[in-house]
């Protein structure tokens, strides 16, 4: 299995998602907790989605899938 090299932005977003527990977390909460610019949050979320680490649910909610990194 190949190791995924996440950008610093994606790592920060994932840290916030991992810190919220097993439930889905919405985009606004991720942005508020990370204190990152909205475009950076969106970029990090997209990267995590493309790698299959998170999944977007209706209403801009995001949830981890698979192993927690």
**In a structure prediction context, what are the per-residue pLDDT tens digits for the chain, which is 69 residues long?**
578 899 999 999 999 999 988 889 999 999 999 999 999 999 999 999 999 999 999 999 999 986 544
CATH number for the domain running over 10-64: 1.10.10.10
pTM (two decimals): 0.89
Domain definitions of the chain by residue range: 10-64
The CA distances from residue 11 to 7, 23, 45, 47, 67, in Å, are: 6, 19, 10, 10, 15
Helix (H) or strand (E) holding 17, with range, is helix 8-19
């Amino acid at each position: 299995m190949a190791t995924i090299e996440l950008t610093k932005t994606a790592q920060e977003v994932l840290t916030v998602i991992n810190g919220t527990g097993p439930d889905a977390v919405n985009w606004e909460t991720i942005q508020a907790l990370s204190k990152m610019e909205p475009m950076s949050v969106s970029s990090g979320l997209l990267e995590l989605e493309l790698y299959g680490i998170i999944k977007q649910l209706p209403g801009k909610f995001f949830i981890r899938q698979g192993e927690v990194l």
